[in-house]
Structure 1
């Protein structure tokens, strides 16, 4: 079914809660493993229907943040969704205690039960008012960022549409564009500080109500860290500082020489070539058609997937006024399809949507054929991001479709950009550990902590002349920090796995694609470290993994 034809009506939460409680009652009285499993499928079918309607409303609101109807719908869900979380938690307690645990574990897998345990650890009904407040604060941040109206050469642009000018080949244009972009954050600095301060205190209070010392451990439970710990992540951060930051610094020295500048300044962020970074050729519509050609040639599975997406209007990627910034892949469970939301802006980021977000969507499409929904319902983000980031590398043989004669420039830029991300993403994670480990920090102390981390992770960068950056506020543009605490390290873990796939695919493309397909199909049927080993990948926080990756990437760095 086409997205425009999908019906929407507001979820009747009292009716859903009543129906859910009736199912829970039957689940507690199941007379056999078979009956327990049938009731289990029924309960999640109910939740899937609610999530489908909520997601439709969310997508349509993001498509036009000025739409009063869907704005009101989203405010309604901000208030009511915690009640759905409470219902799910009640059901999980019943399922977790089932006398048919062995049968159910055989059917849905041990990952599901471990994930349920973590979900139950980080929720009880007493949190609902705080969760509602947290949702409202996150929405307030999202609306504030989406409200940006920046006048640029007689045109009113949002933050996303400014990216094109912040990466201009002309250095003066970049500097001016950065000033306009940063001006929005400077004008709204008090509100941005206030929102985050309230979020930190809200989440800390939730954690303490559940008996956690602070939000860090609760955040790990929320992120379903079901097979590694904060100590493992600390080991990873230590390796990144010691081994990877020097590689990134070497890459930036090459980039500095290529750009022909004496010092890399903040307005050189994301710029890789003096003549300008490669930009997509063709219209947004032609970019989508190039994506269709690429996926048609890549494999039979990717061909079927992309055609299905196009035929059912499952892309909303064209930039326009009043559209929310950012991009994401989400799912519409009732229809068994993914959906991709983005903002094409004339930069290489448009192609990243066709590769990265389609990597997510393709895995959803593949895993969705598994009748046991739990095998992908509990997919953890550090695994999910491998699917997307690896697809970026699998797409490289077709990259001339999007960039023409600058295809090789794009491949170089893409690799360097991915290398640049590892220290930044790790810094975001350490920043959040500092903040939630010290929840009484003032907004200024948080900004000072960010400035110190930048010296450790991004020593190559000079931020002189931009108050937004000099004040240590760059993190305020990162919506994950506000809305999805502790998510960002998942990108780092995944990128490190994608690097391993890249190094392998250059030796044996067919074997590497088979391993990637296997990982997509495994989805969440096993734990993260085990799945990596099954497809021949090394777990990033294991000693020596980063050194091995750096050795492989160092050979590819050229000026």
Structure 2
């Protein structure tokens, strides 16, 4: 029996012990193990020392992640507030301790033998870490962590009065797709008002982040934080010029298809103009909603994953048994959704904010994709490599959304086809927005001297280029360019967002193979890329999955044609 009502009491994984480490003792122990690795007289001893270093780093990572998860579950918890502050300050110090190992790894006399037994990505990661951190930027990183925490606390603090009750931002967003046009407009206005009321705070937070990040990059010899950011994201198999070309492809080839979809939506909703508050509503009578509460969704997901494969069935059972999901939105809970792999206990954790919309199914399948991948990669002993780089990781999550399509009737009943049309459309409609976020950050970090007003002007200019459907005549605040305040990645994990777009076109290839072509090898290839964790680069993983590179524009154009044709063949009569 899944007792979701008990999940809000924060006891879902209470057996996982959190301990604040003694960093002085840890440093001594770690440096002793690193010394043993560096001075090993034979390769066997070097491997033994490396195994111990993996164990030490896994135990440290477990404590850091437990502190993060439990703080995000309840940002009002005094104990984990203090632990969050502790890690804001000490995480860069731990990273610096670990850099002694990376230095020893790269200079090891047994490097040739190590490269045969360990993934090359471990060495690439070590090179990046040494380039991204030294003593000169420790204080800047500590301050950056503190300012990011200010942002997450500010977002989590939102308790907005609407419809006779207090709502979190996630709960309020459920009204964005309400069939009553006036109600969804007011809901959007209340939502936007939170950001405009705190505009000075968001500007101050982001201004600090830009300056802190720019200083770090230049202290370490980078031209700007754009260069630093790409190194931070471990872009080992492509460069920024390829990303810029990919963004241009999205503008030229994806945006026009999306405009056809928005025109259909306008006609379907029977409105004279598609306002910004109309965009989330796909169908005039309301978007498909999952049937049942959160407990029902998890039960249906459990049945689905048992039917999908033996591996997913076994995995999801353990997620339920160990109560490794926190899905319900509530006051004080951090916004958004994520999956975190808890080292040492070797299990993932899924965090979400269900609000009763189809987003609940999206986030459940998405984060389960991440969790399943890490579950299959538990064999990897290097904590850096269980989760791959984010460009690869998002293939697993976004593809899982599509690979579970045959079971959507379990969640949406006779509206499953309407859900699938909206879901596939949204995958295309996301691509320009994902590219917009990357372009915006590239501009901002190339101009760290910009004022808040200049940043907002830049956002709005790019928004018109990538998302011309956004009509803000009814919102002075959004027309001024503050939409991006709500995008936590911009504040918390800069330059992550473009990875979603790279992964999306890979996920669409899995969709094409599984749904359109009914290729029986699709699931085998998906399992193959899940099992390797971060032991291969992004493009190596794409090749292993028998996918085409996102940077192969001819193949991407063909993919777009398949998606466009599929959506075009679905008539409006089919969507009633």
> When the two structures are superposed, what TM-score results if normalisation uses the length of structure 1?
0.98
Is the deviation greater in 469-478 or in 499-508? 499-508
Deviation of 1:534 after TM superposition, in Å, equals: 2.4
Deviation of 1:511 after TM superposition, in Å, equals: 1.0
Aligned to 1:325: 335
Matches within 5 A, 1:524-539: 524-539=534-549
Aligned to 2:134: 124
Matches within 5 A, 1:135-146: 135-146=145-156
Deviation of 1:477 after TM superposition, in Å, equals: 0.4
Residue of structure 2 aligned with 1:515, choices 499, 513, 525: 525
Aligned to 2:467: 458
Residues 91-113 of structure 1 deviation map (CA, whole Å, 9 limit, x = unaligned):
10011100101111111121211
Matches within 5 A, 1:428-507: 428-506=437-515, 507=517
Matches within 5 A, 1:58-69: 58-69=68-79
Residue of structure 1 aligned with 2:191, choices 181, 196, 202: 181
Aligned to 1:297: 307
Question: In the alignment, does 2:403 pair up with 1:394?
Answer: yes
Q: Determine the C-alpha separation between the residues in 2 that align with 1:22 and 1:467.
A: 60
Question: In the alignment, does 2:71 pair up with 1:77?
Answer: no
Is the deviation greater in 257-266 or in 73-82? 257-266
Instruction: Decide whether the 8 Å contact of 1:379 with 1:523 is kept in 2.
Output: yes
Deviation of 1:308 after TM superposition, in Å, equals: 0.4
Instruction: Decide whether the 8 Å contact of 1:400 with 1:406 is kept in 2.
Output: yes
Is the deviation greater in 27-36 or in 148-157? 27-36
Deviation of 1:394 after TM superposition, in Å, equals: 0.6
Instruction: Decide whether the 8 Å contact of 2:489 with 2:497 is kept in 1.
Output: yes
Instruction: Decide whether the 8 Å contact of 1:2 with 1:311 is kept in 2.
Output: no
Deviation of 1:547 after TM superposition, in Å, equals: 1.0
Deviation of 1:50 after TM superposition, in Å, equals: 1.4
Deviation of 1:66 after TM superposition, in Å, equals: 1.1
Question: In the alignment, does 2:258 pair up with 1:248?
Answer: yes
Deviation of 1:146 after TM superposition, in Å, equals: 0.6
CA, structure 1 residues 169+48, in 2 after alignment: closer, same or farther (shift >3 Å)?
A: same
Deviation of 1:522 after TM superposition, in Å, equals: 2.5
The alignment yields a C-alpha RMSD, in angstroms, of: 1.4
Aligned to 2:271: 261
Q: Determine the C-alpha separation between the residues in 2 that align with 1:145 and 1:374.
A: 30
Q: Determine the C-alpha separation between the residues in 1 that align with 2:66 and 2:476.
A: 39
Aligned to 1:227: 237
Q: Determine the C-alpha separation between the residues in 1 that align with 2:327 and 2:156.
A: 16
Residue of structure 2 aligned with 1:168, choices 168, 172, 178: 178
Question: In the alignment, does 2:94 pair up with 1:104?
Answer: no
Q: Determine the C-alpha separation between the residues in 2 that align with 1:248 and 1:166.
A: 20
Question: In the alignment, does 2:12 pair up with 1:12?
Answer: no
Aligned to 2:59: 49
Residues 253-279 of structure 1 deviation map (CA, whole Å, 9 limit, x = unaligned):
112222222221110232211111111
Aligned to 2:8: none
Unpaired segments of 5 or more residues in structure 2? Answer: 1-10
Q: Determine the C-alpha separation between the residues in 1 that align with 2:532 and 2:232.
A: 22
Residues 285-329 of structure 1 deviation map (CA, whole Å, 9 limit, x = unaligned):
111100100001000000000000000010011122221111100
Question: In the alignment, does 2:418 pair up with 1:409?
Answer: yes
CA, structure 1 residues 174+434, in 2 after alignment: closer, same or farther (shift >3 Å)?
A: same
CA, structure 1 residues 371+153, in 2 after alignment: closer, same or farther (shift >3 Å)?
A: closer
Is the deviation greater in 532-541 or in 132-141? 532-541
Question: In the alignment, does 2:336 pair up with 1:360?
Answer: no
Deviation of 1:545 after TM superposition, in Å, equals: 3.1
Unpaired segments of 5 or more residues in structure 1? Answer: none
| Count of residues paired in the alignment | 558
Deviation of 1:468 after TM superposition, in Å, equals: 2.5
Instruction: Decide whether the 8 Å contact of 1:119 with 1:224 is kept in 2.
Output: no
Deviation of 1:242 after TM superposition, in Å, equals: 1.0
Deviation of 1:524 after TM superposition, in Å, equals: 2.1
Deviation of 1:375 after TM superposition, in Å, equals: 8.2
Q: Determine the C-alpha separation between the residues in 1 that align with 2:380 and 2:119.
A: 13
Deviation of 1:523 after TM superposition, in Å, equals: 2.4
Is the deviation greater in 48-57 or in 425-434? 48-57
Deviation of 1:33 after TM superposition, in Å, equals: 2.1
Instruction: Decide whether the 8 Å contact of 1:239 with 1:546 is kept in 2.
Output: no
SS of 2:567's equivalent?
coil
Instruction: Decide whether the 8 Å contact of 2:374 with 2:386 is kept in 1.
Output: no
Residues 152-211 of structure 1 deviation map (CA, whole Å, 9 limit, x = unaligned):
122111111111112211111110000100010011000101110110010000000011
Is the deviation greater in 400-409 or in 354-363? 400-409
SS of 1:183's equivalent?
helix
Is the deviation greater in 259-268 or in 490-499? 259-268
SS of 2:352's equivalent?
strand
SS of 1:500's equivalent?
helix
Q: Determine the C-alpha separation between the residues in 2 that align with 1:371 and 1:277.
A: 42
Is the deviation greater in 384-393 or in 84-93? 84-93
CA, structure 1 residues 16+375, in 2 after alignment: closer, same or farther (shift >3 Å)?
A: closer
Question: In the alignment, does 2:399 pair up with 1:385?
Answer: no
